[in-house]
Amino acid sequence: MIFAWVEGDTVYTQSKFSGGKRAKNSTVVVYDNEGNQLLEGKTDEKGEFSFKVPQKTDLKIVLKASMGHMGEWKIPAEEITGVAHAPEGSAPEIGIEAATPGASPSTETRTKPDGERPVSTAIGLNRKEVRDLIDASLDRKLGPIFDMLADSLDRGPRVSEVIGGVGYIFGLVGVALYFATRRKRK
């Protein structure tokens, strides 16, 4: 099984088998929405693999593990945010005061020419810089949640499978007892 998520311009994957064992040194192949192979790599000792997004398109990530085990994860192009941003400086400025530890804020208060209210100027960040700051913060905060989500996909045996296994064992015991009583009668 493979689980993948996007952080900025990088895709991170975690790969493991159904019992929870990590898929070490397994091949990961990335395809675009037309089935063209974009890149190929191998998982590390933790079953993890990451790569920079080659182009903003739907991605299909395929895990090829040992003995024919395979897993697949799809990432729609809408989730890929860090590849095709607007050019630097093209976005309107957003006024945010700069706060450097130990320094005073660099804002000035000026009076309008007509003598009305004072106007405050602040150091501005453009939309790309604000978006990058927010993305970096969210990536740090959501990292553990992605790990928990990847672990939750490994469900293990369900109740119906356990009951089916117990029924199978009772069936085998019944067949064995049937043949044992037939031998005693003869």
**Whose CA is closest to 4, among 38, 36, 43?**
43
Helix, strand, coil abundance in the chain, percent, nearest 5: 30, 30, 40
What pLDDT shows up at residue 115?
59
Four-point Cα dihedral 169, 170, 174, 177, nearest 10: 70
Q: What is the pTM of this model?
A: 0.52
Name the pLDDT band for 25 (thresholds 50, 70, 90). Answer: very high
Residue 52 has pLDDT above 90, yes or no: yes
Per-residue pLDDT tens over the stretch 53-64: 988 899 999 999
Residue 5 has pLDDT above 50, yes or no: yes
Average pLDDT, rounded, for the chain: 79
Burial per residue of 76-110, b for 16 or more beta-carbon CB atoms within 10 angstroms, e otherwise: eeeebbbeeeeeeeebeeeeeeeeeeeeeeeeeee
Residue 143 has pLDDT above 70, yes or no: yes
Per-residue pLDDT tens over the stretch 92-140: 444 444 444 444 444 555 555 565 666 555 667 888 888 888 888 887 7
CA 30 to chain centre: 15
Residue 7 has pLDDT above 90, yes or no: no
